Every structure is written in C-alpha cells, then in structure tokens.
Amino acid sequence: MDIRAMAASIQPELVAIRRHFHQHPELSMEEVNTANYIVEQLQQLGIDVERKVKTGVVGTLKGKKDGPVVALRADIDALPIKEETGLSFASVNDGIMHACGHDAHTTCLLGAAKILSQIQDEIPGTVKFVFQPGEEQAIGAKLLIEEGVLEGVDAIFGMHVDWTAPAGTVSVDPGPRMASADMFTIHVEGKGGHGSAPHQGVDAAVVAAAIMMNLQTIVSREIDPLESAVISIGKLVSGDRFNILPARAYMEGTCRCFNPAIRENIPDSISRVIENTAATFRATAKLHYQFGCPSTINDEALTALAQNSIKRLYGDEALTTKPPEMGSEDFAFYAEKIPATYAYLGIANSAVGACYPEHHARYTIDESALQVGAATYAQFAVDFLTEKS
C-alpha cells in the first residue's frame, strides 16, 4: 500500500473539505453542523459512527484480522475571533474563526479515514477516529474519556498544525511537549479605612503587591533551575477610590510546568507564601487552586514509531524537531491514561499568507500540508497495528 500516493490522490477533496469547515466554524461544544458533516462523511465511507457528548464523533474501522486498537484524534472547534484573512472561503459565522487550524486537523483525519477504508482488508486491527469537541476550553477530551472513548484502545495519536514549521514537514518528539495549565485565585482580606490613616486599617493592596512579588520566588528559589515552571498573575483587583484604604484584593493566575511532581507541590508552595506574606502585614490570604490540563508527555516507543512512519512516507528530510512549549493541550488527558504521542504538522508558507501564529485573525495554512497530515495519521495507524499484532 502506498499511503503517500493515496493521500496525494485525494488532495483536491481535502482542500474542499477544509474550506467547508473553515467557512463554517463553530465554538467549543457547539460544533453541531461540524459533527453532522463528519458523520455524513464517515458514513459514506462505510465506517461505524457513534456520537459522544453531543458534538463528538467516533468512527470505528475494523480490519479483516483481529488485533490491537489504535485511536487517531482530531479536535474540531473554532475560536471567538473575527477573521481578517480576506480569503474567498473566510468564515460566514461572524466573530467565529478556525484560527487554530482545527479545520485542518478534522480534514486530515477524514482523509485518513478515507485512505484506511480503502485498504480495510489489509489492516491488522481496529482504528478509531476520534473527532473531539471543545479543545479550546480543555473540556472535550475529559468528557470523551468519561464516555469510554479509550476503552480497549492500546495507543492514541494526535496532531496539531504548526505555523513555525514549513509545509511538508512533520515533527514528533519524545517526552514533555506541552505544559500543564492550572488556574488559581487568591482572596486577600485586610481592613478598610481612610487613605490618610493607613495605620488604622490593613491595606490589602499593599499585601497583594507583596504577594505578587513573593510568588515569583517559588519558581526562582524553590524549583530546580533545570526544570521549567511559570507562575503568572493575570488579574489583580483592589480598591475603590483614591482616598479609601482597600479592604480586599483579588487575584487570578495560572501555573504551567512539565513535571507532574513539581505541579503537585505548587499549590502548597503558593498557600505557604501567600498566607505568611499576608500575616506579615496583619492580613489573611486564601488560595483556591484548580487543576486544569496535565502536561502532554509523548511516549518514547510510540514516538519512535511515529518518526519512522513520517520518514517512510516523505523521507528523512520531512521529519523535523520542535522544542517543548508552555502552552497546553487537552490531548494530555488521553496521554495520562494510555500510551500517546502528539505530532506537529508544518503549515507555514509566506507565499500563501501562512505566516501568522495560531489564534491570529489572519491565520491560515498552506493547504498542501493536508495530504501530509492525512497520510501521517493513516501511516501511523498501519505501522502501529502491524508492529503490535
């Protein structure tokens, strides 16, 4: 089977499908028409289809022989961004845009479904096509897992477009790829009063300022310098008027890191720093910490297998490498449960305007990457099932 040639032969269809999705983007967990379209496409290929969590779609393709089960995942949602690409197939849904390339992911996975359905008899196992809603809010993967999407699945492969890599290349690297992303709030309680008499009250704004500075010492003084972590306060609210001593302050922040052991300790560190800093100033501070997405960690063996799939398809020069990022991705929830690997599909080409970062109002892709993405999904599935069966 020549998956590269099969992908090339459906390239015009892939372009049409991607433009359809691009023109009709839908927000997280509202991907109703997108899901319907995916269902129709899969049914045309004779693939068994199940709907999950309202707008999720899972297709199952059984090969002739029994064998392992591999899942291929694409996220399908768009962003609340007003598109400024000026493309002929720009979004018709005002204020909503596929600015993170999930239109491309969905298209590539449909392409893989088409390729694999054509060689169904040669597949030594089962392929599950997971079309996941709600990635931008980091909720879709969790919901699909709760509905049993990983039951009986031996490994999962996912992919994201990458504006920093030229179209025609793919990278997949072992180990941590994206950071965990948690959210926290801090409530500071002081004592109000007149701005002219700070000694009669407890200025919560000054406490908040000290907390904000002291929090930075967790990363710089408590965590191994060879590890990575970020603690950022993105919101600080305090006070009402120029001559009123603020009685309260409120902060919101985020924590990012790769190492789960470090992540686990961060809430305790934050609590200690904020409570004791507040006590220094006769105030109190309370932390509410919410664990969000774990870090995305690529399984070593599975990643090596994926690297070989890419080289088999397009040669050594197509396989690139990419440093880890502090951004996050809810694919991490799958990777927490079963062996997983996450690749990046190069889509950059300034000649076609594909030179803006993901989430930019002018974001677009070099569509020649669609066949590469479809082939990569399909080849990985075949290679994994062949090796494990």
Residues that bind Ni ion (CB under 5 A): 100
d(CA 305, CA 301): 6
Give whichever of 57 and 251 is closer to Ni ion, judged by the CB atom: 57
Which residue is associated with the tokens 């440093």?
323
Which residue is associated with the tokens 């996050």?
328
Q: Where are the alpha helices (DSSP H) in 48-165?
A: 102-118, 140-146
Give whichever of 254 and 277 is closer to Ni ion, judged by the CB atom: 254
Give whichever of 344 and 384 is closer to Ni ion, judged by the CB atom: 344
Q: How far is the CB of 41 from Ni ion (least distance, A)?
A: 21
Q: With DSSP H G I counted as helix, E B as strand and the rest as coil, what are the percentages for the chain, rounded to 5?
A: 40, 30, 35
Q: How far is the CB of 323 from Ni ion (least distance, A)?
A: 18
Give whichever of 180 and 277 is closer to Ni ion, judged by the CB atom: 180
Which residue is associated with the tokens 């509905």?
147
Give whichever of 100 and 116 is closer to Ni ion, judged by the CB atom: 100
Q: How far is CA 3 from the centre of its chain?
A: 27
Give whichever of 334 and 384 is closer to Ni ion, judged by the CB atom: 334
Q: How far is the CB of 267 from Ni ion (least distance, A)?
A: 27
Which residue is associated with the tokens 């005002």?
94
Contact 133, 28 (CB under 8 A): yes
Give whichever of 4 and 160 is closer to Ni ion, judged by the CB atom: 160
Q: How far is the CB of 55 from Ni ion (least distance, A)?
A: 16
- Check the CA dihedral 30-128-312-9 and report its sign: negative
Q: How far is the CB of 201 from Ni ion (least distance, A)?
A: 47
Give whichever of 74 and 381 is closer to Ni ion, judged by the CB atom: 74
| Residue 148 phi, psi (nearest 5) | 85, 20
Q: Which two tokens stand for residue 317?
A: 């020069």
Q: How far is the CB of 365 from Ni ion (least distance, A)?
A: 12
Residue at shortest CB range from Ni ion: 100
d(CA 52, CA 76): 13
Strand 126-132 and strand 284-293: the pairing is unpaired
| Residue 139 phi, psi (nearest 5) | -120, -25
Q: Which two tokens stand for residue 104?
A: 């491309």
Contact 314, 380 (CB under 8 A): no
Q: How far is the CB of 39 from Ni ion (least distance, A)?
A: 22
Q: How far is the CB of 163 from Ni ion (least distance, A)?
A: 11
